[in-house]
């Protein structure tokens, strides 16, 4: 598949999402957010491409990476086309006169098509346990999420909340009901952390309550889904992300991707540290 075809496919996937949201259907958006929970390291466009080409994908990697893991792509399997950045040093004529050539920034100067394969398209050795998809109760992930909140200098308090809310973000302080089940507590905390990271400062004035609540809930959905918690039953209708134009939708989805990816990445780092500590002990 050529680069132009891949770009067109990405644009078509977005256009389909826009049309479905205009028609009042949010299933495609839920599919995209689910895909994002699995592939948080991938860009907005590449998540769209993976969802469009293989909505059942759970774990993707390139041919060479699968080989390193002792697995091999099955004969006849067709790869999922995504775009990989081409990165290099800026040309001398493009650099500032004040900038040292030795310190010139590396930058993206284009994209090329690469192919990845889902684990279901491969066979071979069993995957290491640290790569397997998590499921069920959040377990130690709740403690990891709490650590992430506190590391960002956000006070975390478990206490009763007047008015019936399960959680509240107050700008530098998150309050959560203390007696919630672990899965619910995790999801509520992810929601309120989403507010803290998305809706403080100038951007708060540029959004209304509907957009803010839906973005925070979408972050909670993605982060919760990444540890095996399906919060769809308690999540707001994602159709609210639609606010009249494609630009607003894309802005929300990219911000959701960025914040959720950051949280998931930090949790993965804490999980790795925990596994290393157990191994040493």
Per domain, the residue ranges of the chain are 3-124, 140-280
> How much is the pLDDT for 25?
86
Rounded to whole angstroms, the Cα distance separating 1 from 219 reads: 32
Let me know if 121 is exposed, middle or buried by CB neighbors in 10 A (0-12, 13-18, 19+).
buried
d(CA 27, CA 124): 34
Max distance between CA atoms of the chain, in angstroms, equals 62
Q: What is the pLDDT of residue 238?
A: 79
Contact of 209 with 236, CB cutoff 8 Å: no
Cα distances from 141 to residues 155, 187, 251, 266, in angstroms, run 18, 11, 28, 11
| pLDDT per residue rounded down to tens, the chain (281 residues) | 788 899 899 889 888 888 888 888 888 888 889 999 999 889 888 999 999 999 999 999 999 999 999 999 999 999 999 999 887 765 544 444 444 444 445 677 788 999 999 999 999 998 865 454 544 589 899 999 999 999 999 999 999 998 888 999 999 999 999 999 999 999 999 999 999 999 988 888 888 888 899 999 999 999 999 998 877 656 667 778 877 678 888 889 999 999 999 999 999 999 888 877 766 65
* Amino acid 223: pLDDT: 95
Q: How many residues does the chain have?
A: 281
């Amino acid at each position: 598949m050529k680069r132009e075809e891949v770009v067109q496919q990405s644009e078509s996937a977005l256009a389909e999402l826009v049309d479905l949201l205009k028609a009042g259907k949010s299933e495609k958006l839920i599919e995209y957010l689910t895909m994002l929970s699995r592939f948080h390291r991938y860009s907005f466009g590449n998540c769209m491409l993976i969802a469009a080409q293989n909505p059942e994908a759970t774990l993707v990697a390139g041919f060479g990476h699968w080989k390193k893991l002792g697995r091999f792509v099955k004969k006849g399997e067709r790869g999922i086309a995504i775009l990989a950045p081409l990165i290099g040093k800026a040309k001398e004529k493009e650099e500032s006169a004040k900038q040292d050539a030795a310190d010139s920034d590396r930058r993206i100067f284009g994209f090329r098509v690469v192919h990845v394969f889902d684990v279901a398209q491969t066979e071979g050795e069993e995957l290491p346990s640290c790569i397997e998809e998590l499921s069920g109760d959040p377990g130690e992930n709740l403690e990891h999420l709490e650590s992430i909140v506190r590391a960002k200098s956000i006070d975390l308090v478990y206490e009763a909340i007047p008015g019936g809310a399960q959680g509240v973000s107050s700008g530098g302080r998150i309050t959560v009901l203390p007696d919630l089940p672990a899965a619910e507590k995790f999801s509520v905390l992810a929601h309120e952390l989403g507010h803290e990271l998305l809706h403080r400062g100038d951007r708060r004035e540029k959004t209304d309550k509907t957009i803010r609540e839906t973005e925070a809930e979408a972050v909670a959905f993605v982060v919760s889904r990444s540890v095996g918690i399906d919060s769809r039953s308690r999540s707001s209708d994602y159709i609210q992300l639609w606010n009249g134009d494609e630009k607003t939708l894309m802005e929300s989805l990219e911000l959701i991707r960025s914040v959720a990816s950051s949280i998931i990445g930090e949790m993965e780092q804490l999980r790795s540290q925990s596994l290393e500590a157990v191994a040493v002990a």
